Amino acid sequence: MSLTGKNALVTGGSRGIGRAVCIRLATMGVHVFINYVSNPKAAQETQKIITDAGGSADLLAFNVADAVQAQNAIKGLIKEAGSLDILVNNAGITRDGLMARMKEDDWDAVLDTNLKGSFICAKAAARSMMKKRWGRIVNISSVIGFAGNAGQVNYASAKAGMQGLTKSMAREFASRNITVNAVAPGYILTDMTRDLPEEIQEKIKAEIPLASLGSPDDVAGAVAYLVGDDSAYITGQTIHVNGGMYM
């Protein structure tokens, strides 16, 4: 399906799931703004993959957890491009540790990036979408937000919070023809999970009915569906992309 003429911002689009989402949206005719915070080389690689395939993309560096930086960057994007039609809140980090030893900084960093960052970006993006009376917001949450996980109270809380954010925004923005949905990946092979010890990966696989970790493209497919016309009557929902590990 073609979304030619639409502009999308993918936070954390430089690597992993965000990169796959950027590439997928570009194949649908979308002009993609690739956000990153620390890794310009990876973001440039994503941009090159897109332009080599005939798509169009720009880079946009900012920290989603810094309200002033993020708002200014998104304002600038809207001014330059004319509109922001699609937002994928994908930027995320982990700072794992058992609760008894978890530092407040680790709690704050994960909540600020994953949850507050999504709120900040969505608030800034929604202005343009409301004006155009068309918009798509997709929040990348996680199976951990539904099932919980020892060693990830910060991450699980942030991702569970994104579910509340998704449903509340869906209700607030529906009258302006803006849909807001979430995609909750299970274990996907990216930099975030690559360093898990082999035996932990085997343990995880044993809990997955489809018996393998997912790929970033598996998640990108669900995002592509949620931004396209086929999902126009779907809002406030979550697509679980997890090989069946949580039903």
Rule CB under 6 A: say whether 12 interacts with ligand NAP. Answer: yes
Rule CB under 6 A: say whether 91 interacts with ligand NAP. Answer: yes
Token digits for 42? 């990876």
State the nearest-atom distance from the C-beta of 111 to ligand NAP, in Å: 12
- Which stretches of 54-98 are DSSP H helices? 67-81
Residue 39 has, within 13 A of its CA and on its CB side, a CA count of 15
Cβ closest to ligand NAP, residue 154 vs residue 190:
190
State the nearest-atom distance from the C-beta of 210 to ligand NAP, in Å: 14
Binding range to ligand NAP, per CB under 6 A, among 14-22, 123-131, 163-171, 228-236: 14-22
Cβ atoms of 46 and 23 within 8 Å: the answer is: yes
Rule CB under 6 A: say whether 55 interacts with ligand NAP. Answer: no
Cβ atoms of 166 and 238 within 8 Å: the answer is: yes
Residue among 1, 177, 8 nearest 86 (CA): 8
State the nearest-atom distance from the C-beta of 187 to ligand NAP, in Å: 5
Rule CB under 6 A: say whether 243 interacts with ligand NAP. Answer: no
State the nearest-atom distance from the C-beta of 87 to ligand NAP, in Å: 13
State the nearest-atom distance from the C-beta of 38 to ligand NAP, in Å: 4
**Sign of torsion over alpha carbons 172, 173, 175, 181:** negative
> Rounded to 5, what percent of the chain is helix, strand, coil?
50, 15, 30
Cβ closest to ligand NAP, residue 4 vs residue 38:
38
State the nearest-atom distance from the C-beta of 86 to ligand NAP, in Å: 16
Binding range to ligand NAP, per CB under 6 A, among 75-83, 87-95, 127-135, 201-209: 87-95
Binding range to ligand NAP, per CB under 6 A, among 1-9, 15-23, 173-181, 230-238: 15-23
Q: Cα separations (Å) of 68 from 14, 64, 118, 120, 233?
A: 21, 9, 14, 9, 33
Cβ closest to ligand NAP, residue 134 vs residue 246:
246
Name the strands in the sheet holding 178-185, side by side, starting at the edge strand that comes first in the sequence. Answer: 56-61, 31-36, 7-10, 86-89, 135-140, 178-185, 238-241
Measured CA angle at 191 (ends 201, 105), to 5 deg: 100
Cβ closest to ligand NAP, residue 141 vs residue 235:
141
Size of the chain, expressed as the number of residues it contains: 247
- 187 classed as catalytic: no
Scan residues 165-224 and list those touching ligand NAP (CB under 6 A).
Answer: 185, 187-188, 190-193
Q: List contacts with ligand NAP (CB under 6 A).
A: 11-12, 14-18, 35-39, 42, 63-65, 90-93, 113-114, 140, 142, 185, 187-188, 190-193
- Which of the residues are catalytic? 155
